Amino acid sequence: MQKTTKPLNNFKITSVILAVIIIISSCASGQLGKNNSGEYENGMVVSAHPEASHVGVEILKKGGNAVDAAVAVQFALAVVYPNAGNIGGGGFMVYRSASGEINTLDFREKAASGASRDMYLDSAGNPIVDKSLYGHLASGVPGSVDGMVEAHKKYGKLSWAEVVQPAIDLAANGFKITKRQAAELNGLHRNLMDFNPNGTAFVNLESPWKESDLLVQKELANTLKLIQEKGRAGFYEGAVADSVVAEMQRGKGLITKEDLKNYHSAWRKPITGMYRGYKIITMPPTSSGGIALIQLLQSVEPYPLKKWGFNSDSTVQLIVEAERRVYADRATHLGDPDFYAVPQVGLLKAEYNKSRMANFNWNAATPSSSVLAGEIKGSEHEETTHFSIVDHDENAVSITTTLNGSYGSLVAVKGAGFLLNNEMDDFSVKPGAPNMYGLVGGEANAIAPNKRMLSSMTPSIVEKDGKLFMVVGTPGGSTIITSVFQTIINVIDFDMSMQKAVAAKKFHHQWLPDEVYLEKDAMDSLSIEKLKAKGYKILIRGPIGRVDAILRTKWGTYQGGADPRGDDVAVGY
Which segment (185-193, 322-330, 370-378, 450-458) binds ligand GLY by CB under 6 A?
Answer: 450-458
In angstroms, the CA 156 to CA 153 distance is 6
Contact positions with ligand GLY (CB under 6 A) in 103-122: none
Q: How far is the CB of 476 from ligand GLY (least distance, A)?
A: 8
Residues 254/245, Cβ–Cβ less than 8 Å:
no
Burial class (CB in 10 A: 0-12, 13-18, 19+), 183: middle
Could you tell me how many residues of this chain bind ligand GLY (CB under 6 A)?
Answer: 8
Could you say which of 384, 479, 553, 557 is catalytic? 384
Residues 484/398, Cβ–Cβ less than 8 Å:
no
- Any idea what the Cα angle at residue 336 is, between residues 436 and 89, rounded to 5°? 55
Residue 380 vs 495, nearer CB to ligand GLY = 380
Residue 68 vs 383, nearer CB to ligand GLY = 383
The CB-nearest residue to ligand GLY is: 455
Could you say which of 97, 243, 384, 385 contacts ligand GLY (CB under 6 A)?
384
Residue 531 vs 547, nearer CB to ligand GLY = 547
- Based on the shown chain and the rule CB under 6 A, indicate whether residue 142 belongs to the binding site for ligand GLY: no
Which segment (181-189, 373-381, 451-459, 485-493) binds ligand GLY by CB under 6 A?
Answer: 451-459
Of the candidates 488, 533, 492, the residue with the CA atom closest to the CA atom of residue 506: 488
Of the candidates 466, 565, 557, the residue with the CA atom closest to the CA atom of residue 33: 557
User: What three-state secondary structure class fits 317?
Assistant: helix
- Based on the shown chain and the rule CB under 6 A, indicate whether residue 456 belongs to the binding site for ligand GLY: yes
> What phi and psi, each to the nearest 5 degrees, are found at residue 402?
-160, 155
116 contacts: CB under 8 Å, gap ≥ 6: 447, 449
Binding mask 488-517 for ligand GLY (x = CB under 6 A): ------------------------------
Of the candidates 116, 90, 89, the residue with the CA atom closest to the CA atom of residue 447: 116
- Based on the shown chain and the rule CB under 6 A, indicate whether residue 336 belongs to the binding site for ligand GLY: no
Which segment (131-139, 142-150, 346-354, 452-460) binds ligand GLY by CB under 6 A?
Answer: 452-460
CA separation, residue 24 to residues 17, 225, 393, 489, 572 (Å)? 11, 43, 21, 33, 17
Which residues partner with 559 through β-bridges?
551
Q: How far is the CB of 245 from ligand GLY (least distance, A)?
A: 24
Binding mask 344-383 for ligand GLY (x = CB under 6 A): ----------------------------------------
Residues 476/404, Cβ–Cβ less than 8 Å:
no
Residues 58/388, Cβ–Cβ less than 8 Å:
no
User: What three-state secondary structure class fits 327?
Assistant: helix
Could you say which of 56, 142, 477, 572 contacts ligand GLY (CB under 6 A)?
477
In angstroms, the CA 117 to CA 392 distance is 47
CA separation, residue 120 to residues 203, 278, 520 (Å)? 29, 43, 36
Residue 487 annotated as catalytic = no
Q: How far is the CB of 265 from ligand GLY (least distance, A)?
A: 15
Q: How far is the CB of 404 from ligand GLY (least distance, A)?
A: 4
Binding mask 417-446 for ligand GLY (x = CB under 6 A): ---------x--------------------
Binding mask 181-210 for ligand GLY (x = CB under 6 A): ------------------------------
Residue 184 vs 313, nearer CB to ligand GLY = 184
In angstroms, the CA 388 to CA 398 distance is 5
Residue 65 vs 455, nearer CB to ligand GLY = 455
Contact positions with ligand GLY (CB under 6 A) in 390-419: 402, 404
Q: In whole angstroms, how large is the CA radius of gyration of the chain? A: 23
Which segment (233-241, 360-368, 370-378, 453-461) binds ligand GLY by CB under 6 A?
Answer: 453-461
In angstroms, the CA 293 to CA 485 distance is 6
- Based on the shown chain and the rule CB under 6 A, indicate whether residue 455 belongs to the binding site for ligand GLY: yes
Residue 68 vs 426, nearer CB to ligand GLY = 426
Residues at the annotated binding site for L-glutamate?
108, 402-404, 426, 455-456, 477
Which segment (24-32, 246-254, 351-359, 454-462) binds ligand GLY by CB under 6 A?
Answer: 454-462
Task: Output DSSP code: residue 158.
Answer: S
Residue 395 vs 404, nearer CB to ligand GLY = 404
Which segment (52-60, 114-122, 449-457, 462-470) binds ligand GLY by CB under 6 A?
Answer: 449-457
DSSP-derived secondary structure for 232-257:
THHHHSHHHHHHHHHHHHHHT----H
CA separation, residue 185 to residues 79, 417, 564 (Å)? 14, 16, 20
Of the candidates 48, 46, 77, 73, the residue with the CA atom closest to the CA atom of residue 570: 46
Could you say which of 133, 328, 457, 471 contacts ligand GLY (CB under 6 A)?
457
Task: Output DSSP code: residue 525.
Answer: H
Residue 178 vs 479, nearer CB to ligand GLY = 479
Catalytically active residues are: 384
Residues that bind ligand GLY (CB under 6 A): 384, 402, 404, 426, 455-457, 477
